[in-house]
Structure 1
């Protein structure tokens, strides 16, 4: 369905794709953080864990964006086009 020129289903899928990518990067960051710590690089490990926490925040914001998309689409006062 398109609302005000936005295909909301496709838009949501695109947000999901970004989330999947960030999820993968978070996993790599987590693994590298542990490898660094295991090798005695405590500062590097700590920085990578900080980056991991930042990626968690990004994922939370993407969830918020999906919720906002639903709310904005529902409240949009423009044209709605549905495939029949």
Structure 2
């Protein structure tokens, strides 16, 4: 993945950790029925990460990853909206 050339090793670890924590935040609260408010918070965080990914790939003129990031952004926004909104638990 060529986009990694634009970031330091430390920043790549931060991005990876944020993605893993976001994924855990989507799954674990529902699985253990503990602090369900963390699900929309995690989804919002992942949406922000995807916006950053879209900007990064757009600057590098890489269209294929942008499509993937847009799909993931939409999915994260749907989760955040439905879990924050009137349909929330």
Q: TM-score, normalized by length of structure 2?
A: 0.53
Relative contact order, higher structure (CA 8 A, sep 6+)? 1
Shift of 1:23: 0.9
Q: Specify the alignment match of 2:52 in structure 1.
A: 31
Kept in 2: contact 1:32–1:48 (CA 8 A) = yes
**Structure number having the greater helix percentage:** 2
1:22–1:59: 8 Å Cα contact kept in structure 2? yes
Instruction: Name the counterpart of 1:52.
Output: 73
> Structure 1: any 5+ residue segments left out of the alignment?
1-10, 67-84
Aligned length: 55
Larger radius of gyration: 1
